[in-house]
Amino acid sequence: MSRAPLHALQGFVAAVRHGNLTRAAESLNLTVSALSHQMRALEARLGYPLLVRGARGVAATVDGQRLLDRIAPHLDAIAEALHPYAARSGQVLTISLLPSMASAWLLPRLGSFLAAYPAIEINLQSQTAVVDFERSPEVDAALRVGRGPWPGTVTEHLFDDEMAPMASPELVARMGGIDARPLSQWPLLGDDDGQWNRWFAQAGEQPPSRYVAMLDDTEAHHRAAAAGVGVALGRMTRARLLLEAGQLVLLSPRTLRTGTGHWLVYPERSRRHQGFASFREWLLDQAAQYARGGDGGGT
């Protein structure tokens, strides 16, 4: 059997790591159909299936995982060795972040960066999975939400995470107005991390005896609140677009610090990236404006 083409092996590794052919194709500057053709040709050449395709994406078969374990370290080593010499090192910047953080916070500000640095091309990878910089050498940095720091990375604090009760205008109207009754008497959307208990303790009030629904996902809270299901203790940064659009309104000016924060996280190798240095300086300035209440908002 002739040797498998290197680009097809790179495509296979990218597909497994992203778990999604669309994102993998974007990372390789290919169309989805071109990547799919590569995968079918590689499977035909090897004589066994490499990927399981499902409604939620793709995953490696048992044979595919064996192949991945054997070739991925070598491809990563090649990529790392070539990284200092790559043409993209100073002009192309790849950032991983949550979809909600991209739409609600970064994208409204990004125009000012691109106007100041028109030669830099930014690729945003919107994903919920925490990127592994060792396994994804094409990613230069990430915006993460959590307590930090993350081992093996440089971690820089941007701003703290804050929460506040928010509901749809329709629910506010049904309840007779924002100040019509104590918050504990509203239909509240609960969670498993006890944030509502902290909220009521901070306000000097008693929490409710029950919640209308228990949700374990931040975006599900925001969507349910916007649909009028109940009151979410929403995250101010990530609910920004819903608040600005009038789909949610704040029920109190008081905010609750969550103990988590927003961070810029990157591997040591990104310090050598000229474009990243400019992005980092701009991002820290935008975050400082936002933390001071000046918002930054693209200025």
At 127 the pLDDT is 83
In this structure, the answer to whether residues 116 and 32 fall within a common structural domain is: no
Q: Which of 49, 57, 46, 53 is nearest to 23 (CA)?
A: 57
Q: Could you tell me if residue 168 is inside a domain?
A: yes
In this structure, the answer to whether residues 243 and 95 fall within a common structural domain is: yes
Q: How far apart are CA 263 and CA 247, in angstroms?
A: 28
In this structure, the answer to whether residues 207 and 268 fall within a common structural domain is: yes
Say yes or no to pLDDT of 99 above 90. Answer: no
pLDDT class for 298, splitting at 50, 70, 90? very low
In this structure, the answer to whether residues 193 and 46 fall within a common structural domain is: no
* Domain end point (choices 85, 115, 135): 85
Say yes or no to pLDDT of 83 above 70. Answer: no
* Domain end point (choices 85, 102, 129): 85
Are the CB atoms for 199 and 210 separated by under 8 Å? no
Please provide residue 223's backbone torsions phi and psi, each rounded to the nearest 5 degrees.
Answer: -65, -40
H helices of the chain, in order, are 6-18, 21-27, 32-46, 62-82, 99-101, 107-116, 169-174, 195-203, 218-226, 240-244, 274-292
Residues 259-268: pLDDT tens digits?
A: 889 999 999 9
In this structure, the answer to whether residues 73 and 104 fall within a common structural domain is: no
Q: Which domain holds residue 38?
A: 6-85
In this structure, the answer to whether residues 123 and 199 fall within a common structural domain is: yes
Say yes or no to pLDDT of 86 above 60. Answer: no
Q: How far apart are CA 153 and CA 36, in angstroms?
A: 33
In this structure, the answer to whether residues 14 and 145 fall within a common structural domain is: no
- The C-alpha angle with vertex 139 and arms to 136 and 142, in degrees rounded to 5, equals 115
In this structure, the answer to whether residues 54 and 111 fall within a common structural domain is: no
In this structure, the answer to whether residues 70 and 136 fall within a common structural domain is: no
Go through 131-167 and write b for each residue having 16 or more CB atoms within 10 A of its CB, e for each that does not: bebeebbbbbbbbbbeebeeeebebbebbebbbbbbb
Residues 121-171: pLDDT tens digits?
A: 999 998 888 888 988 888 999 999 888 788 889 999 999 988 999 999 999
Q: What is the mean pLDDT of the chain?
A: 88
At 43 the pLDDT is 92
pLDDT class for 205, splitting at 50, 70, 90? confident
CATH classification of the domain holding 120: 3.40.190.290
In this structure, the answer to whether residues 30 and 137 fall within a common structural domain is: no
Q: Could you tell me if residue 1 is inside a domain?
A: no
Q: Could you tell me if residue 27 is inside a domain?
A: yes
Residues 15-69: pLDDT tens digits?
A: 999 999 998 988 888 888 889 999 999 999 899 999 998 888 899 999 999 999 9
In this structure, the answer to whether residues 115 and 27 fall within a common structural domain is: no
Share of the chain above pLDDT 90, in %: 51
Residue 297: Cβ within 10 Å count? 12
In this structure, the answer to whether residues 45 and 112 fall within a common structural domain is: no
* Domain end point (choices 46, 62, 85): 85
